[in-house]
Amino acid sequence: MAHSGRRDSPELPDFSLLKRLARDQLIYLLEQLPGKKDLFIEADLMSPLDRIANVSTLKQHEVDKLYKVEYKPIISTSDQVCFLIRPRIQTVKWICDVANADKAAGKFRRYKIIFTPQKFYACEAVLEEQGLFGDVTTDEWAFYLLPLDDDIISLELPEFFRDNFLAGDQRWVRTVGSALHLLHSIYGPFSKIYGIGRCAKMAYESWKEQVEEGDTKARQAEIGNAFLIDRDVDYITPLCSQVVYEGLVDDIFRIKCGCVEFGHDVTSSDKSVKVMLNSQDKVFSEIRNEHFSNVFSFLSQKARNLQTAYDKRRGMDIKQMKTFVSEELKGLKQEHRLLSLHIGACESIMKKKTKQDFQELLKTEHSLLEGFEIRECISFIEEHINRQVSMIESLRLLCLLSITENGLLPKDFRALKAQYLQSYGVDHLLTFANLRQLGLLVEQQPGETLTVMESKVGKLVNDKTAGKLTDAFSSLAKKSHFRALSRKLNLVPKSDEEYDLRVPRDMAYIFSGAYIPLSCKLIEQVLERDSWTGLEEVTKLLNGHEFAFTGSNGADLRAKSDAQRIILVMFLGGCTFSEISALRFLGRERGYKFIVVTTAITNSSRLIEALLGNKV
Amino acid sequence: MAFITANWNPLGEAFYRKTDLYEMSWNLQDGLRDSLVAAAPYGGPIAFLREPHRCSPSSRPLLEIYSSSGVQITSFPWKSGPVVQLGWTVSDELLCVQKDGTVLIYDLFGSFKRHFSLGQEVVQTQVLEAKVFHSPYGTGVAIVTGSYRFTLATNIDDLKLRRLPEVPGLHGKPSSWVVLTQDRQTKVLLSNGPELYILDNTSCTAVCPPGVSPLSGSIVHMSVSFSYKYLALFTDTGHLWLGPSHLQDELIKVDTKKMTTPKQMVWCRRPQSQQPSVVLLWDRLLLVAGVCRDTVQFPIEEPCVLVGELDGVRIISSTNQELLQEVPLVCQEIFKIASMAPGALLLEAHREYEKCSQKADEYLREIKEQSMLGESVRQCVEAAAHEYDTNTQKSLLRAASFGKCFLTDYSPDQFVSTCRELRVLNAVREAGVGLPLTHTQFKQMTLQVLIDRLVYRRLYPLAIEICRYLKIPDYQGVSRVLKHWASCKVQQKDLSDEAIARAVCVKVGDSPGVSYSHIAAKAYECGRPELAIKLLDFEARSGEQVPLLLKMKRSQLALSKAVESGDTDLVYTVVSYLKSEMNRGDFFMTLRNQPVALSLYRQFCKLQEQETLKDLYNQDDDHQELANYYVTASYREKQRLESRLSLLQSAVDEYNKAKNEFAAKATEDEMRLLRFQRKLDDEKGAGLLGLSLQATMEALLALGLHKQAEQLYRDFRVPDKRYWWLKLKSLAEKEEWEELEKFSKSKKSPIGYLAFVEVCIKCNNKYEAKKYVSKVTPEQKVKAHLAVSDLEGAADAAIERRNESEMVVVLSRCPASDRLLIERLNRARATAAKK
């Protein structure tokens, strides 16, 4: 479309292999329990499972009935019951209840738990505690990676973010290591690995260990470099409102596992429609990375083209008509359907977003990023809270304010928090505690104004004596140095120039030209330099933990330049569609292809919801 | 080459030969007389127990273990009860079946490993006879007891005793019996006089194979072949019956004309045997009886023992050891006198070539004419594999190599692998090693097993050399050997911990697949914890160290190693272990130093043990978290207000201790609010409990309880703006327009009046909205007018303010029909632009 990019961009590896592997293993596991059986599936595994094996595949392997895990007594009549779950204590406890209830009723069944992607000792300990270790057999389904699209692979572990960054529970790190190992063993070997963040480092080490344990065969690499990045390196980007089409659809309709459900306001009929959003959708693939302001005009152009294509049939003779019907019509019909859906979605988005409030919201966000008219921003946020616009949005703005301003002034901090508690209840004290722990919403240390702060930024970074740290993870309650970073990396383009969103200059287009996502900028810089050299000050501001390692065969693969330009980026703690769009843009500009691997697709609401205090 | 065939004895179509294996290097005083002997197949070790029935304490029998070549491995006096039978397991362990039914297991070096019993009743009835047998499941033991009952164990490593049913009419020792493994079932075949019975798990069936008539006498000896496929029966009339072991057919009956019962009867055949035969041993005679009714007889001078092998019979006497086997077909073809087989011609050609004779060419031509050159090379290579004599091997391989030169597309694989394998076989056949394996046996037992056997014999250097020579991947080869070596090394009591640790480290280094923790575990088993710790230090993967450290009660160290490994499962294992081992205080203190473990445990507590969580925070004096804990807890007490309040009070106290005044204040407010809500709920049934302040006020206003709402507004110092918004919305929603107007005039609106306009419009009351337009500040006038869609007014306001951008906004809303207004605005714009 508007920007064509370099033509020599390399081909992406075929990730459908991952699906096949997962399916074969699942079938194998199901066959380990011969005979008819009922399958209980954890709710958040339903969609991922659907991408791997559909109902008829499961039925072929003697799955009789399918149920969703609902934490209620079960009504299955089968004498073999299989549970497909995430390794969560809560679910295992429920299964114990089921088994114990059957025992009490004198009913005998065979129980099998398939943990995916792996089992945890804690879960087995629950079985042991309940005296069911022998009655319930367990297995692992090593389903680590779900390819959502040609260039997006998800671990579908949204809890990774809260568990790892908030609770300091590192159990998923090994899972990420294994996922990386899987990718490495199929598509590797990687020639270089970069990373930043504590968790990224640990995941790297876990992976390294697994590589050393297994034996390695020399293969032709399909992926060149890998880049691991922790979500806590950059909280700003996911907290901003998304304005690229795919991100916007996610913000408004919530894309689940690569699939979105459009309600009746979009389909303009009474039933809702589920649509897969990926590169197979020809219309969507052209607009997904576009700034929203371009989308509508593009769609109308597309509609006109479609009409012309339909019109072609006028004046055709029978033979031409025959070929038209057999070859083109189906494609056109399909395109027609998709087009009308996306136009519907656009209308619905316009209705919601072109209102005055949204413009002001964006304006506030941009002011925060640029760092001026802060007082106006604060009053905007205050009014936002007062008028109870949205519980999540208000928190998001508060966090954005805190990070960009390196904490709130004590007066504002208290006032805003008090207002918020009045609006949404005191239980949010816990939310605030969580946000504080992550450094998302903090109070400025008294006496430190912004300018003073910036002048001694370098000195303060390693100053860990500030405040007694009750555990190592409070150290994550670090200071944000957004301003300094922004200046060093040139994250906020000069606002006096007009930014043409049709012809993006840089990655800032994904935020209407107001801000280049920090995460993507880091990746760009490191790839450009082929190392972290020259970025020392930046990494210092980001609390360090950066690393770069040359893989086993870094040198000899230089020649295979095609694979070298395929870059795997792994986000630990989730990434947004906007970031993916930005990376795609960067890829087009520089002749790279990025593969995004993430623990889950996130956005501002998911991020904040994960940190709400009143959920255990 | 006549001399190669010198020891060939024809038997029907085939030939049998005896090959010298070793001059036995042992020095047996009494020969093999009066001893229990057990020699394992596949060139396994030989065990002797002299005079097994002697059991007086003064002169105990001596148990000796030799390698196949007669090198003594160990010997020790037998101190346990009388032994009925000796036997070897597949993993070179010695089984000693005692009369009382106890089976003792020793390793190759005579150290006791374990024992098991064959059942209680055997203690009473005693074992009459025992047999050790090998089946696909492993090594088994079968006995017949004093009450003439059979008991079986098919795999001694997974002991399941099976007492077989009674045999009708058996009132004495069975005249002979064997164990058969057929169709994955183990059975006993026994004879009682002329009758034959098959005993399986459930039944005893009398059988009568074709050709065995009661007239031919009672069956006194029987033997089953190595593969359990064939059976031989010997009757007291000297008849020998040969047939398949399923007893449906008969191969042949031979009359040996020997009335005495042979000492041993062993099948002698090979895979693809041409002429299966049975070897019978009497005191002075060795007789080979083939299916062709022919026999070969060898006189013998001294007592010997036969050991059945896959492809022959080993004959061990006190001075030497021989292998009796059918000459493999390919060797026959090559070496048979006047053979014209391609292999034979090639061998001849090469011999002539070495003599620089042109005859070489003639022979070659002859082979080539038949286009059998490839075949001839194959024959030579194959024959070399079967030969025991290294010179013969060499000449055959040279001939093959010579022939290969004239072939363009011959794959060298077979040649190369045969050369390598022969080199290995020759090395293990050395008397010092004493594993007289044939190539066929080697192929059957596989290289892996051969290396295992070498390792059992502690021939580590040789094993490693073989692994390296055959380029076996380290995991299966060198590393495995090193692991065994190190495990053995740590048991050497005469060396200091330091020396052993160093020796192990130097040798093992960081070979892949060798786990130091495994070696350390061995050291710990041998009672050397210090050594174990030293060895653990070498373990690179900290995760591997943990289980042993726990076993050694080094729990603190285990915890830090587990944390280091980054494997949370491991951390959790240690944590739950510590939890049960330590008292609470110590446990918490330990966790406190390990943040990773602590947060893991906290996660667990959050789901499983809320109370423990509190104790944890208490121990740490973490007031902030403790307060948060109380707040969380208060939300679980939704129903009972009192406990909820007391929990919140605790939270307030903790927040105060944590110097978090803000949170303390907020919590106090919450308590106040809860009490207030409770009061109103009781008085008016308002259903407020648990709502946020905002929601409470909303609810109050919705219920028309303005006074109470006002009270909250004042008590909780709700910002004016919030309250005004709230009241505005609430009144508008309830369409209390008069009340709204009154409210708007109560004082100057802190939220301005545009809000009034907008809210009214939202509630679809343009009329009311218009009332407030005049009150709006000049800056917002245009917006207000536009909101009530009063374009004229908006235009007026914009023009009055001479604000161009506002004019543009108004213009954009003007319908094209309203030309008058558009013109007016455009004019104003023009003038505004001028200035």
pLDDT class for B737, splitting at 50, 70, 90? confident
Residues of chain A with CATH 3.40.50.2060: 15-143
Contacts of residue A533, Cβ cutoff 8 Å, sequence gap at least 6: none
Tens digits of residue pLDDT in A185-200: 888 788 888 999 888 9
Residue B319 is which amino acid?
Answer: T
Q: What number of residues does chain A have?
A: 616
Domain spanning A245-355: CATH 3.40.50.2000: no
Please state whether the peptide bond connecting residue A158 to the residue before it is cis, i.e. omega within 30 degrees of 0.
no
Whether the CB of B580 is below 8 Å from some CB of chain A: the reply is no
Residues of chain A with CATH 3.90.830.10: 245-355
Residues of B in contact with A90 (CB under 8 A): 607
Residue B654 is which amino acid?
Answer: E
Evaluate if residue B384 carries a pLDDT over 60: yes
Evaluate if residue A559 carries a pLDDT over 60: no
> Is B602 within 8 Å of A167 when comparing Cβ atoms?
yes
Whether the CB of A350 is below 8 Å from some CB of chain B: the reply is no
Residues of A in contact with B691 (CB under 8 A): 425
pLDDT class for A463, splitting at 50, 70, 90? very low
Res A6: pLDDT: 55
Tens digits of residue pLDDT in A562-605: 778 889 999 999 999 999 999 999 988 888 889 999 999 999 99
- Window B:131-160, CB contacts with A under 8 Å: none
CA gap B285, B291 in Å, rounded = 19
CA gap B102, B99 in Å, rounded = 7
Q: Are A189 and A553 in contact (CB under 8 A)?
A: yes
- Window A:404-423, CB contacts with B under 8 Å: 414, 417-419, 421-423
Evaluate if residue A16 carries a pLDDT over 70: yes
In the Cβ-directed half-sphere of A396, how many Cα atoms lie within 13 Å? Answer: 25
DSSP-assigned states of every residue in B172-207: S--SEEEEEEETTEEEEEEEETTEEEEE-SS-EEEE
Taking chain A, what is the end-to-end CA distance rounded to the nearest angstrom?
Answer: 46
Q: Which helix (H) or strand (E) holds B435?
A: none
Whether the CB of B631 is below 8 Å from some CB of chain A: the reply is yes
CA gap B489, B495 in Å, rounded = 9
In which residue are the tokens 């042979």 written?
A: B262
Residue A487 is which amino acid?
Answer: R
Interface test with B, best of A96, A171, A391, A422 (most B CBs within 10 A): A422
Res A543: pLDDT: 78
CATH superfamily of A359-405+407-478: Sec1/Munc18 (SM) protein, domain 3b (1.25.40.850)
Beta bridge partners of B793: none
CA gap B547, B532 in Å, rounded = 12
pLDDT class for B398, splitting at 50, 70, 90? very high
> Hey, what CATH class is A15-143 in?
alpha beta
CA gap B398, B388 in Å, rounded = 16
Mean of the pLDDT values across residues A155-160? 90
CA pseudo-torsion sign A91, A96, A101, A107: positive
Evaluate if residue B509 carries a pLDDT over 60: yes
Hey, what are B400's tokens? 């093959």
> Is A423 within 8 Å of B573 when comparing Cβ atoms?
no
Tens digits of residue pLDDT in A292-351: 888 888 888 888 888 887 787 777 778 888 887 877 778 888 888 888 888 888 888 887
Res B481: pLDDT: 85
> Is A121 within 8 Å of B569 when comparing Cβ atoms?
yes
The phi and psi torsions of B433 (rounded to 5 degrees) equal: -90, -50
Tens digits of residue pLDDT in B745-801: 787 777 777 778 878 877 777 787 777 777 777 777 777 777 777 777 777 777 777
Res A458: pLDDT: 36
> Is A171 within 8 Å of B569 when comparing Cβ atoms?
yes
Hey, what are A86's tokens? 């995430």
Query: Which candidate, A474, A510, A465, places its Cα nearest to that of A491?
Result: A510
Whether the CB of B694 is below 8 Å from some CB of chain A: the reply is yes
Closest Cβ–Cβ partner in A125, A430, A471 for B576: A125
Query: Which candidate, B84, B27, B95, places its Cα nearest to that of B55?
Result: B84
Res B104: pLDDT: 92
Mean of the pLDDT values across residues B520-540? 79
Tens digits of residue pLDDT in A407-424: 888 888 888 888 888 888
Evaluate if residue A490 carries a pLDDT over 70: yes
Res A1: pLDDT: 42
Between residues A82 and B271, which one has the greater pLDDT? A82
CA gap A427, B666 in Å, rounded = 10
Query: Which candidate, A78, A72, A85, places its Cα nearest to that of A127?
Result: A85
CA gap A275, B454 in Å, rounded = 65
Distance from the Cα of B725 to chain A's closest Cα (Å) equals 7
Q: Are B9 and B294 in contact (CB under 8 A)?
A: no
Res A167: pLDDT: 81
Closest Cβ–Cβ partner in B473, B595, B663 for A473: B595
Tens digits of residue pLDDT in B84-121: 899 999 888 999 999 888 999 998 888 888 999 988 88
Residue A458 is which amino acid?
Answer: G
The C-alpha angle B145, B151, B153, rounded to 5 degrees, equals 140
Tens digits of residue pLDDT in A359-368: 888 888 888 8
> Hey, what CATH class is A144-234+494-615 in?
alpha beta
Q: Which helix (H) or strand (E) holds A96?
A: helix A89-104
Res A616: pLDDT: 43
Tens digits of residue pLDDT in B40-73: 888 889 998 887 666 566 677 888 899 988 888 8
Res A508: pLDDT: 87
Tens digits of residue pLDDT in A199-230: 898 899 888 888 877 666 667 778 888 899 99
> Is A427 within 8 Å of B635 when comparing Cβ atoms?
yes
pLDDT class for B491, splitting at 50, 70, 90? confident
Between residues B834 and B152, which one has the greater pLDDT? B152
CA gap B517, B531 in Å, rounded = 11
- Window A:115-154, CB contacts with B under 8 Å: 120-122, 125-126
| DSSP 8-state symbol, A162 | I
What percentage of chain B has pLDDT greater than the value 90?
11
pLDDT class for A460, splitting at 50, 70, 90? very low
Residues of chain A with CATH 3.40.50.1910: 144-234+494-615
What's the whole-number average pLDDT of chain A?
Answer: 82
Residues of B in contact with A423 (CB under 8 A): 692-694, 722
Whether the CB of B599 is below 8 Å from some CB of chain A: the reply is yes
CA gap B548, B562 in Å, rounded = 12
Mean of the pLDDT values across residues B237-249? 86
Res B173: pLDDT: 86
What percentage of chain A has pLDDT greater than the value 90?
11
> Is B692 within 8 Å of A422 when comparing Cβ atoms?
yes
Mean of the pLDDT values across residues B169-188? 87
Contacts of residue B250, Cβ cutoff 8 Å, sequence gap at least 6: B209, B210, B211, B212, B241, B242, B243
Q: Are B517 and B536 in contact (CB under 8 A)?
A: yes
ipTM: 0.77
Mean of the pLDDT values across residues B152-160? 87
Q: How far is CA A177 from the centre of its chain?
A: 17
pLDDT class for A3, splitting at 50, 70, 90? very low
Res B294: pLDDT: 83
Q: Which helix (H) or strand (E) holds B86?
A: strand B83-88
Whether the CB of B573 is below 8 Å from some CB of chain A: the reply is yes
CA gap B334, B399 in Å, rounded = 12
Interface test with A, best of B563, B570, B580, B599 (most A CBs within 10 A): B599
Evaluate if residue A289 carries a pLDDT over 60: yes
Whether the CB of A205 is below 8 Å from some CB of chain B: the reply is yes
What's the whole-number average pLDDT of chain B?
Answer: 84
Tens digits of residue pLDDT in B628-683: 888 888 887 777 888 888 888 888 888 888 888 888 888 888 888 888 888 888 88
